[in-house]
Amino acid sequence: HTHTQKSPSFEVSLVCLQTYESECSYSSEEMEQFQTEVKQLQTQMKQLKVMLKEMELSKKSLEEQLQKTSEKACLTVEENTRLKSRLQAAEAEVVQRQTSSAEQDYEEVIQLLEAEIEDLKNQLAGRRQARGLDATKESPKQEEVVELSRRLTTIDSQLRKSELSRKQLEISNKKLLGFAQNVHKALTTPSLYGGEGGSNSLSPATESSNIPSPHPDPTFQLAAEAKELVDGGGTATADDKALDVTSHHV
């Protein structure tokens, strides 16, 4: 009986062995889980590196697009400036051509009137020399002389009016050229209508005050100049019509 009974020390050793085996098994499971987590983290890190590389490529592409857009914007501004300069030159050339054409027309009219005056003077001189040869025809010749004198006076008046109209045309063309330049300046200068330099519109305090604004409204100035040009053009047109009516009567 003594030989078959286990000793207390043996039982303690057996319990310790079982506990050790259990701990070793538990540690192996934790190790496997840890390794799995490490693999997952490594996979995520690789994915993040790929995403970072893609973001860098996208950033580089955006920077290149921004650079191209900036260059296009600069080219557009330069082209706009060139077009504005060409527009201003074209406007000035049109006004100059109109002025030259009108002056040439007036020169031709004046030359025709001068030629007609010279012809009438020659006719009048010839009829005066032939006057008195026949007493019975003296009265009709006298009437013809009076008629020629009247026509000569009328044509001379037309000549003076033509010269005056030409001078008025020169003045009007100068005003028109100045007006076109002012319009171009107003359309191409944002500060005139309120830009970085501040607005030219009247404030409520200025509107209620009787003190005139030191910077008049450019729109009002352009409107006043346009009205002056229209009034001048109407006067010149009326003078031309009157001149045409007088020519038809003659």
CATH number, domain at 65?
Answer: 1.20.120
Please check whether residue 228 lies inside any domain of the structure: yes
Provide the pLDDT for residue 163.
Answer: 83
Provide the pLDDT for residue 104.
Answer: 79
Please check whether residue 119 lies inside any domain of the structure: yes
Q: How far apart are CA 16 and CA 51, in angstroms?
A: 52
pLDDT tens sequence across 65-85:
999 999 999 999 999 888 988
Domain with 229, as residue range(s), is 47-191+213-249
Provide the pLDDT for residue 217.
Answer: 63
Please check whether residue 8 lies inside any domain of the structure: no
Q: How far apart are CA 233 and CA 171, in angstroms?
A: 11
Pick from 250, 242, 56, 17: nearest CA to 150: 250
Query: pTM for this structure?
Result: 0.34
Provide the pLDDT for residue 146.
Answer: 77
Geometric angle at alpha carbon 229, from 223 and 231, rounded to 5°: 100
Pick from 113, 114, 149: nearest CA to 128: 149
Q: How far apart are CA 162 and CA 141, in angstroms?
A: 31
Provide the pLDDT for residue 198.
Answer: 42
Please check whether residue 163 lies inside any domain of the structure: yes
pLDDT tens sequence across 205-219:
334 444 444 455 666
Q: How far apart are CA 38 and CA 109, in angstroms?
A: 105
What single DSSP character describes residue 203? P
Please check whether residue 74 lies inside any domain of the structure: yes
Provide the pLDDT for residue 61.
Answer: 93
Provide the pLDDT for residue 19.
Answer: 63
Pick from 114, 127, 184, 202: nearest CA to 156: 114
What single DSSP character describes residue 198? B
Provide the pLDDT for residue 193.
Answer: 47
Q: How many other C-beta atoms are found inside a 10 Å radius of the C-beta of residue 30?
A: 9
Please check whether residue 150 lies inside any domain of the structure: yes
The per-residue DSSP string of 18-43 comes to: HHHHHHHHHHHHHHHHHHHHHHHHHH
Provide the pLDDT for residue 209.
Answer: 40
Number of domains making up the chain: 1
Q: How far apart are CA 168 and CA 148, in angstroms?
A: 30
- The tokens 């019509």 sit on which residue? 241
Residues forming beta bridges with residue 195, ordered by sequence position: 198
Provide the pLDDT for residue 96.
Answer: 81
Provide the pLDDT for residue 69.
Answer: 92
Q: How far apart are CA 145 and CA 120, in angstroms?
A: 10
Q: How far apart are CA 242 and CA 249, in angstroms?
A: 11
Residues of the chain with pLDDT under 70: 1-26, 131-142, 189-219, 230, 232-250
